[in-house]
């Protein structure tokens, strides 16, 4: 059997994800060859993410290689994968999600609430920055930090920051789970869209690879992140806008005389914040449906739930906030600079 060529970024975390995917596929009898591909986000480790320009700084080169047939399969951290569909590609499988929560890491303080006014807190995420500023009412000094997980932790250990917020999934995958002091929980702290989940992407017409990858798919995770991604697409926010979302799928059985009816309920928590954290809109949307529905019907219901949640946020007043966030984001990225 010809090995699947699996494309991945070369970072330690991306390679963990690739190795996990390879091991899972090979356990099903599918040989895999890992192909390392450098992306814009890997090359420029100093600029803030918002200054790197368009969406997909961690995925575009990998997707290009997939379209060109240089690889057969791509593995992404799903929170890095833009929601815009690319002709010729498909998100074929989303495996079981890891811990979606953000983690508080500090050598001086046990919890977020112990941080005094003026404490310096580092994060690589605009969403986390907004959430922290809102939680502290602007009392904490929240600063951006770039680099891989090891680099960021070293900066913390060197005393540059009092605390740091990172994704718990990444810390656990790289063996740094013991550094977690406590977790940031909803409703105040919702994760990034797709956080903790992997996305396995193939060419849309590659039936053989699709069939070989399909056993890794987890329905509950797929529907949960599909709702989150639908919300994000409707808000047209991209990963640089402070949007948090968390989908969750539960199942239940109701007995009616001799028949047992199984249903599934999808819940979507969603929030959008201003960069300074002073303004925030939040909602919870739910939808129950028959567990026996076709996959296509379930996906349609799920995507509609995401759109409905987004519209609720917009109706609350988030439309003006979204427009202002985009303007500030574009200014920071230099997209509004005069052209010579």
User: Annotated catalytic sites, by residue?
Assistant: 80
Residue 279: Cβ-neighbour burial (10 angstroms; 0-12, 13-18, 19+): middle
| Residue 14: count of CB within 10 angstroms of its CB | 23
Q: Where are the beta strands (DSSP E) in 194-277?
A: 198-203, 243-256, 259-273
CA distances from 68 to 19, 21, 61, 65 (A): 23, 22, 11, 5
> Three-state SS for 110?
coil
- Cis, peptide link before residue 187, omega less than 30° from 0: yes
CB 269, CB 246: distance < 8 Å: yes
User: What gap in Å lies between CA 196 and CA 60, rounded to an integer?
Assistant: 20
Q: Which residues contact 226 (CB under 8 A, 6 or more apart)?
A: 247, 299, 302, 303, 306
């Amino acid at each position: 059997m010809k090995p699947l060529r699996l494309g991945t970024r070369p970072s330690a975390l991306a390679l963990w994800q690739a190795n996990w995917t390879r091991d899972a596929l090979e356990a099903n009898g599918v040989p895999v060859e890992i192909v390392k591909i450098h992306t814009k986000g890997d090359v420029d480790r100093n600029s803030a993410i918002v200054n790197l320009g368009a969406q997909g700084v961690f995925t575009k080169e990998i997707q290009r290689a997939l379209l060109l047939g240089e690889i057969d399969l791509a593995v992404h951290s799903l929170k890095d994968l833009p929601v815009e569909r690319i002709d010729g590609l498909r998100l074929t499988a989303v495996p079981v999600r890891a811990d979606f929560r953000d983690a508080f890491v500090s050598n001086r303080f046990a919890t977020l609430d112990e941080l005094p006014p003026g404490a310096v807190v580092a994060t690589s995420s605009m969403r986390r920055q907004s959430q922290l500023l809102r939680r502290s009412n602007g009392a904490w000094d929240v600063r951006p930090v770039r680099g891989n997980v090891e680099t960021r932790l070293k900066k913390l250990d060197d005393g540059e920051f009092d605390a740091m917020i990172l994704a718990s999934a990444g810390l656990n995958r790289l063996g740094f789970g013991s550094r977690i002091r406590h977790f940031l929980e909803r409703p105040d702290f919702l994760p990034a869209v797709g956080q903790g989940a992997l996305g396995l992407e193939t060419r849309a017409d590659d039936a053989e690879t699709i069939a070989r990858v399909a056993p890794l798919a987890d329905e509950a995770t797929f529907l949960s992140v599909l709702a989150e991604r639908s919300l994000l697409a409707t808000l047209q926010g991209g990963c640089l806008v402070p949007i948090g979302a968390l989908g969750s799928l539960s199942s239940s059985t109701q007995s009616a005389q001799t028949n047992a009816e199984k249903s599934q309920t999808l819940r979507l928590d969603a929030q959008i914040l201003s960069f300074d954290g002073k303004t925030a809109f939040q909602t919870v949307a739910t939808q129950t449906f028959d567990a026996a529905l076709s996959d296509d019907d379930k996906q349609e219901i799920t995507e509609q739930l995401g759109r409905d949640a987004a519209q609720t946020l917009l109706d609350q007043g988030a439309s003006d906030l979204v427009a202002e966030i985009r303007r500030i984001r574009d200014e920071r990225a230099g997209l509004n600079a005069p052209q010579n």
